[in-house]
Structure 1
Amino acid sequence: MASVMRSCIQSILKLLNCVIGMVGIAMMLYAVWLIRVWQREIGDFPFFDDDDDDFSPWFIYTFLGLGVTLSMITCLGHIAAETANGCCLYLYMFFVFLLLMLEAGVTADVFLNRDWEEDFPKDPSGSFDQFKGFIRSSFELCKWIGLSIVSVQGLSFLVAMILKAVGPHPCYDSDDDYASDRVPLLRDVVHPPPYVVVNPVTGSRNDAWSIRINEKANR
């Protein structure tokens, strides 16, 4: 029963990690598209721009970095879900917790600070303004998408805690550790009869031969 429950928890954690991984891949694809637009308009890639850092396309860097981070967290989550190792689970929960705190901080700054746009530097690519316009025009859709992503991250954190509490699979060195008389499923096991190794006796055979020879001589 415990192994079935552990397998179900591992499958759920892998499924949640797949959702987080798809979000990370989508962010990386969007960042690649932004890089392509920047290269087409400016004629150079943003990573090799020699201008001042205040005019760097930080929005592209942010999206690409978040996508790579989510993908790495997904890989770590799959390893933790497969092995149920305590160290991997703790490390995975730590990164998911940091990600949730970052998202909570940005959300609180946007909703509580009226001048939140001044906290971000100027984006010469204009991608940040386009992103803000898309969110404002589709606020309900973006709100539910954001809540879904945060819920998946929170559920993955909770499932990782449950998997850590359940523990990993028990490890056995060999099949000899399973005694047949202790396994209830092996009902038809035939136990070998006990035997004792003794030294061969040769004196009785010689006596028998001598008795036979004497009988023949008497005849």
Structure 2
Amino acid sequence: MVRVLRSCIQSILKLVNSVIGMAGLAMILYSAWMIRVWQREMGDLPFGHDSDDYPPPWFIYTFLGLGAVFCVVTCLGHVAAETANGCCLYLYMVFVVLLLMLEAALTVDVFVNQDWEKDFPKDPSGSFDQFKNFIRSNYEMCKWVGLFLVSVQGLSLLLAMILKALGPHQYYDSDDEYTPDRVPLLKNAPPQYVVVDPGYAHGNETWNRVSGKVN
């Protein structure tokens, strides 16, 4: 029963964890598009092209870094779900908790601080303003997408905790699952004695004598 439950939780954790990976891939693709736009406008890649006139496009860096972190967390989650290793599960849970804390801090800053835009530096690429305007124009959709992503992360954290409580796999042979506890080793086995019925032994001796006379 525990083995079946563990397998089900592993499969669900892999499925839920894949959603985080898809979100990371989407962020990386969006970052690649922003890099392409920057290169078309500036004639050069944004990396290593910092000056006083054109400060670094921090929004592109941040989005690309978050996408890479999401993909790394997804890979770690798949390894932890497959092996049910305690160290991998602990590391995975730490990364998910850090992501949740970061998202919670950003959410509180946006909703509590009225001048939250001043906390971020100016983005020369204009991508931050475009992203902000897109969220404002599609607030309901973005709100549900954000809640869904946070719920997925919370569910993956809960599944990882349950899988850690169940423990790792224990492999046994189907026919010999409890044999080591019942049967001693051959070299340490006590001598075996055979009890023979005296009447049966006497009958064998009589038969042998009769057979000798006939022959």
Structure 1 moving runs of 4+ over 6 Å: none
Deviation track 1:152-211 (CA, whole Å, cap 9, x = no partner) reads 0000001100000111111459x86652997xxxxxxxxxxx799xxxxxxxxxxxxxxx
Structure 1: how far apart are the matches of 2:12 and 2:177?
31
Structure 1: how far apart are the matches of 2:53 and 2:79?
38
Could you say what secondary structure the match of 1:47 adopts?
coil
Residue 178 and residue 168 in structure 1: after superposition, are their counterparts in 2 closer, same or farther (change >3 A)?
Answer: same
Q: Is the 8 A contact 2:109 2:116 kept in 1?
A: yes
Q: Is the 8 A contact 2:50 2:56 kept in 1?
A: no
| 2:134 alignment partner in structure 1 | 134
Query: Is 1:116 matched with 2:110?
Result: no
Q: Structure 2: which amino acid aligns with 1:3?
A: R
Deviation track 1:98-126 (CA, whole Å, cap 9, x = no partner) reads 00000000000000000000000000000
Equivalent pairs, count: 185
| 2:44 alignment partner in structure 1 | 44
| 1:3 alignment partner in structure 2 | 3
Structure 1: how far apart are the matches of 2:125 and 2:108?
26
Structure 1: how far apart are the matches of 2:23 and 2:91?
20
Structure 2: how far apart are the matches of 1:17 and 1:141?
22
| 1:72 alignment partner in structure 2 | 72
Q: Structure 1 length normalisation: TM-score?
A: 0.79
Q: Structure 2 length normalisation: TM-score?
A: 0.80
| 1:165 alignment partner in structure 2 | 165
Q: Is the 8 A contact 1:77 1:89 kept in 2?
A: yes
| 1:185 alignment partner in structure 2 | none
| 1:86 alignment partner in structure 2 | 86
Alignment gaps of 5+ in structure 2: 183-191, 195-215
Structure 2: how far apart are the matches of 1:141 and 1:10?
30
> Map of 1:3-42 to 2, 5 A cutoff?
3-42=3-42
What percent identity do the matched residue pairs reach?
Answer: 73
Residue 118 and residue 7 in structure 1: after superposition, are their counterparts in 2 closer, same or farther (change >3 A)?
Answer: same
Q: Is the 8 A contact 2:34 2:127 kept in 1?
A: yes
> Map of 1:172-183 to 2, 5 A cutoff?
178-179=178-179
Shift of 1:14: 0.2
